[in-house]
Amino acid sequence: MKAGHHHQVKHLQCEVLEDALQEFDGTLLAISHDRYFLDRITTRIIELGGASLKEYLGNYSDYEHQRFSA
């Protein structure tokens, strides 16, 4: 398989996964280093810090804005 083709297949698989997660009507725990992925699939972020939890409504960009403007 050519390298370019592999990248196209992987990109398509990610889009299919994102679409499925956006349609999912339930709760999902997602752990990812990909902020763009989190931006597209999250509506609420719960930050775990030490012995506390803090809730942020919105996607990853909203989380960053709320966290750093507080």
Q: What is the pLDDT along the chain (70 residues), one digit of tens a residue?
A: 455 655 554 555 678 888 888 888 888 888 888 898 899 889 999 999 999 999 999 999 999 999 989 7
Cα dihedral across residues 30, 34, 35, 38: positive or negative: negative
φ, ψ (nearest 5 deg) of residue 28 = -135, 135
Integer Cα distance of 32 and 25 in angstroms:
20
Integer Cα distance of 24 and 15 in angstroms:
14
Domain spans, the chain:
3-69
φ, ψ (nearest 5 deg) of residue 17 = -65, -45
Report the chain's C-alpha Rg in angstroms.
15
**Predicted local confidence at residue 62, as pLDDT:** 97
